Amino acid sequence: MSVDPVLSQIDDDLLPATERLKELLRIPSISTDPAYKNDCETAADWLVADLASIGFTAEKRATTGHPMVVAHGGEGGPHVLFYGHYDVQPVDPLDLWDRDPFDPVLEDTEKGQVIRGRGTSDDKGQLMTFVEACRAWTAVHGKLPFRITIFFEGEEESGSPSLIPFMKENAEELKADVALICDTGLFDSDTPAITTMLRGLLGEEIIVTGPDKDLHSGMYGGAAMNPIRVLSNIIASLHDENGRVTVPGFYEGVDELDPAVKAQWEALGFDAKGFLGAVDLSHPAGEQDRSALEMIWSRPTCEVNGITGGYTGDGFKTVLPSQARAKISFRLVGKQDPHAIRENFRAYVRAMLPPDCKVAFLSHGAAPASVMALDNPAFERARGALSDEWPREAAYVGSGGSIPIAGYFKTILDMDALLIGFGLDDDAIHSPNEKYDLRSFHKGTRSWARVLAALNTSA
């Protein structure tokens, strides 16, 4: 089955495809707010009906939260599972939007046309690139190229509380040869990317307590231990002079970057000075023997996300506080064990406590990194297909963020995931005036058609 007529069909169908996307975007499927529960149901129903219209056997599946959408189509050849999420972020602050977030519109900009509205890039626009590729394939050839399972979630933006139980209960049905995820981005507007590394995340909150109440700093200062001073010493000690994290055992499981992947990264021409300059910075602050891309994509971090203690209101109050708090996050890579790091970190902090101080910890989640196995032939086939569609050759890239679903596909369903997305850094996901370039939507759809053709080992 040739892909060329499928690509032509996608080109001819761009306007109707954009209108279909706008229909889905008009549904305010905000998963975090109970007021929008019915809208999440409506979005799931819309997707079920749309998938059924192109030949999938599609169902809305109930969970303890918002429903999942599961659909099956095609036969023979390999079996792939495609994942996306139909829920969106809240729109606050509403007054910063230039128009109604759920009244999507095509808008002309200096860089070309964009689709403006909540969910355009994260993730409805991305999700629909794959659906539209399947629609075009079926329209041209009368069937899909091989077995495809669709798996759409409605709680990704609210922590995915139903996801793991659902995947475990339906593992046999969902398991495929490889998973496809469209919730990432291009490296730049002309360079497609397959994300093969996702950092894990460990969140810890430290609460250091000294005196049993806030004290007058004139009466007690000098004699009484100040918890802010203790906490400041702990925080200052977490990195050495070269930017390395000092928690014992922290780098266990951190592998060196594959030379071939490192060469790809170097060929991308990443402008570290421009990247930092855009936020009024100039010097990479991490491990000084690493490039900025390595710092973001393949090296672990320890960052202080917030500090509180004492009087922080207007004016001045000479108080010696009873408590000081800090929220600290660790981005993890490779085979780092978040639970071992948590224990080592807590032991490290306890060892730094002076007399008269005690510490308590609050956990804010722990998830390992995800590293894809590039020896799976699907990766090179997909990379070749993407390279055929875009001006520049596709690259394997890392991601500084975390997408837990990719790890769950490995740990629960024992399959690798191809993370291919078409978003751009300026899409303003989670922010007012979110957009998705029409070019990303169009070429993203064409890209998936090419990827399906490349994965069709039965052709």
Over residues 185-198, the pLDDT tens digits come to 999 999 999 999 99
Confidence of residue 403 (pLDDT cuts 50, 70, 90): confident
Residue at 268 is within a domain: no
Same domain, 386 and 360: no
Q: Is residue 44 part of a domain?
A: yes
In this prediction, residues 31-40 reach a mean pLDDT of: 97
Pairing of strands 417-420, 178-181: parallel
CA dihedral sign of residues 314, 316, 321, 324: positive
Residues 115 and 181 in one domain: yes
Measured between alpha carbons, how far is 366 from 382 in angstroms, rounded to an integer? 31
pLDDT band at 222 (very low <50, low <70, confident <90, very high): very high
**Are 31 and 153 within one domain?**
yes
- Examine the domain organization and report whether 53 and 84 are in the same domain: yes
pLDDT at 320: 95
| Other beta carbons less than 10 A from residue 405's beta carbon | 25
At 188, list the tokens.
């730049």
Domain boundary among 367, 400, 426: 367
Write out the residue range of the structural domain in which residue 346 sits. 200-254+300-367
Place of tokens 């660790």: 330
Residues 319 and 441 in one domain: no
Please tell me whether residues 50 and 35 are part of one structural domain: yes
Averaged pLDDT, 258-286: 92
Angle (CA) 287-288-294 rounded to 5° is: 60
- Judge whether 291 lies within some domain: no
The SS3 call for residue 179 is strand
- Asked whether residue 93 is domain-assigned, the answer is yes
Q: Which of 367, 391, 421 is the last residue of a domain?
A: 367
pLDDT band at 365 (very low <50, low <70, confident <90, very high): confident
Asked if residue 358 and residue 380 are part of one domain, the reply reads: no
Task: Please count the structural domains in the chain.
Answer: 2
User: Is 61 in the same domain as 159?
Assistant: yes
Average pLDDT over residues 60-78: 97
Q: Does 116 lie in the same domain as 31?
A: yes
> Does 19 map to a domain?
yes
Instruction: Confirm whether 270 is domain-assigned.
Output: no
**Stretch 333-358: mean pLDDT:** 97
- Across residues 241-266, what is the average pLDDT? 95
> From CA 28, how far away is CA 37, in angstroms rounded?
10
85/33 Cα distance (integer angstroms):
16
The predicted pLDDT at position 459 comes to 61
The pTM score is: 0.86
Q: What is the mean pLDDT of residues 307-319?
A: 95
Same domain? For 358 and 310 the reply is yes
Predicted confidence (pLDDT) at residue 402 exceeds the cutoff of 80? no
What confidence tier does 458 reach under pLDDT thresholds 50, 70, 90? low
For residue 255, the 8-state DSSP code is P
Structure letter (DSSP) for residue 224: B
- Identify the weakest region by mean pLDDT among 22-26, 60-64, 259-263, 341-345: 259-263
pLDDT tier at 182 (50, 70, 90 boundaries)? very high
Is pLDDT of 434 > 80?
Answer: yes
**Which of 294, 46, 332 is closest to 203 using CA atoms?**
332
288 domain-assigned: no
What average pLDDT does this structure show over 73-84?
Answer: 96
Q: What distances in angstroms separate CA 431 from CA 56, 91, 95, 97, 112, one per listed residue?
A: 34, 7, 12, 9, 20
Tell me the β-bridge partners of 398: 197
pLDDT score for 404? 82
Instruction: Judge whether residue 441 has pLDDT over 70.
Output: yes
Kindly report the CATH number assigned to the domain that includes residue 37: 3.40.630.10
Q: Are residues 442 and 414 in the same domain?
A: yes
Angstrom distances, CA of residue 408 to CA of 146, 201, 335, 368, 446:
24, 14, 15, 10, 28
The pLDDT value recorded for residue 323 is 98
Comparing 406 with 420, the larger pLDDT belongs to 420
Is 204 in the same domain as 194? Answer: no
Q: What is the CATH number of the domain that holds 232?
A: 3.30.70.360
**Does residue 312 lie within any of the structural domains?**
yes
Domain boundary (350, 367, 384) is at 367
